[in-house]
Homo-oligomer: A and B are copies of this chain.
Amino acid sequence: MTGLRERKKQRTRDSLIRAAHELFVEQGYEATTVDEIVAAVDVSQRTFFRYFASKEEVAFALQTLVSERYLEAVRRRPPGGSPVQVLRSTLDETWESIGEAIEEIVPLPLHMQMWQIIETTPSLVAVHLRHSMEMEERLAAEIARREGVDLEGDPRPRVLVAAFSGVMRAASRCWGSGGDTTVRAARQKVETYVDQLGPALGQDWGTPGAHTSGAGAHSQLPSASTPRTPPETAPSN
Q: Which segment of A16-24, A68-76, A78-86 sits at the interface?
A: A78-86
Which residues of B are found within 8 Å of A109, using beta-carbon distances?
Answer: none
Q: Give CA–CA (A126, B134) in the complex, Å.
A: 11
Q: Which segment of A6-14, A32-40, A96-104, A193-201 sits at the interface?
A: A193-201
Find A194's partner among B89, B122, B132, B219 (CB 8 Å cutoff): B219
B85 lies within 8 A of A201 (CB): no
Which residues of B are found within 8 Å of A159, using beta-carbon distances?
Answer: 167, 170, 193, 196-197, 200
Which residues of B are found within 8 Å of A213, using beta-carbon distances?
Answer: 80-81
Q: Give CA–CA (A27, B170) in the complex, Å.
A: 36
A146 lies within 8 A of B219 (CB): no
A81 lies within 8 A of B133 (CB): no
0/1 interface trace, chain A 149-171, chain B, CB 8 Å (1 if under): 11011111111101101110111
0/1 interface trace, chain A 180-220, chain B, CB 8 Å (1 if under): 00000000000111111111111111011111010011111
Which residues of B are found within 8 Å of A226, using beta-carbon distances?
Answer: 222
Which residues of B are found within 8 Å of A231, using beta-carbon distances?
Answer: 149-150, 153-154, 156
B85 lies within 8 A of A217 (CB): yes
Find A222's partner among B88, B154, B211, B225 (CB 8 Å cutoff): B225
B218 lies within 8 A of A89 (CB): yes
Least Cβ–Cβ distance between A218 and chain B, in angstroms:
6
Least Cβ–Cβ distance between A164 and chain B, in angstroms:
8
A169 lies within 8 A of B162 (CB): yes
- Is A174 among interface residues, defined by CB-CB distance under 8 A? yes
- Is A236 among interface residues, defined by CB-CB distance under 8 A? yes
Q: A148 with B216: in contact, given A167-B162, A200-B155 (CB under 8 Å)? A: no
Question: 21 A-B Cβ contacts within 8 A?
Answer: A80-B216, A83-B205, A88-B219, A89-B217, A129-B133, A147-B210, A153-B233, A154-B207, A154-B231, A155-B174, A156-B199, A156-B200, A159-B200, A160-B200, A162-B170, A163-B197, A163-B200, A166-B166, A201-B201, A222-B226, A224-B224
